[in-house]
Structure 1
């Protein structure tokens, strides 16, 4: 099933287009937003454009990727969320990030939950994982709220990480 939109009560998630680069740079280039990401903030709009192109390649291959989060009603881009194949985990992993003005409002949990439901039900993914920096307590709370459980610690993409799995997920067994 290839869908082009996910909705929550307060957001709409749609695939990125290259037209979103300037708006998306507001969070991809923000050191506070990108503090706990493996490679830090994007240095330029061109770097964000490269990131979006990578997402579009993933979208073409799998039918999903990281998507832009729009605030319902205003249509304002406020972040991104989605599922990406993580070669280090050999699994699809959930990710999300929001502009700081949208933190602590449950929006990351809404977006993450939409992807968990879509991944499990519509896409039939059996091995969904997530990882976050050891000190990213807000992200850890989001993962726990949407049903992930701590699996183990690892060094992923150059950073010390906590790895989470859905309770019925197997870590490191077979292919996604």
Structure 2
């Protein structure tokens, strides 16, 4: 298991095939993904994991498995969607329901920002969340993102608060 970053309670790790079952607890869960364009089918999750692993191998930056140190379990995913240039990347995070309310998303988001700062190419990190996802919006502000505008997103088919974090 390749560890990309370590915090007090978490590891950010490059996704492996062994994380498939755990990923169903967040990406495949209806309630977790209801405000994020819905859950991914279990059949495509292995392609998602493979894609994020390849992204890390090519760019040195990706979405990572979040492993809780105490239980040694994968409890979520956090990191960056990239598209072409690494100058601007999008922060995302999703966590299993049983890990909600414990500060893991904030801890992982801060870790991801450190990864971006250490990468060297990243200059701007963007993020958005459903207006109904108050917890996620609070996390973005808590870790230093600045609200810029309401913006329409095709994947969720709605206007969402759009945030930026300048590296």
Provide the TM-score with structure 2 as the length reference.
Answer: 0.88
Distance 1:23 1:116 in 2: 24
Distance 1:128 1:26 in 2: 26
Flag the structure with higher strand content: 2
Partner of residue 142 from structure 2, selected from 145, 152, 160: 145
CA contact (8 A) 2:13 2:64 kept: yes
CA contact (8 A) 2:4 2:14 kept: yes
Look up the match of 2:11.
Answer: 12
Look up the match of 2:41.
Answer: 43
Q: CA deviation at 1:86?
A: 4.7
**1:29 is paired with a residue of what secondary structure?**
coil
Q: 5+ residue gaps in structure 2?
A: none
Distance 1:84 1:49 in 2: 17
Correspondence list, 1:9-158, <5 A: 9-38=8-37, 40-44=38-42, 46-86=43-83, 91-158=88-155
RMSD: 1.8
Q: 5+ residue gaps in structure 1?
A: 170-176
Provide the TM-score with structure 1 as the length reference.
Answer: 0.84
Matched length: 162
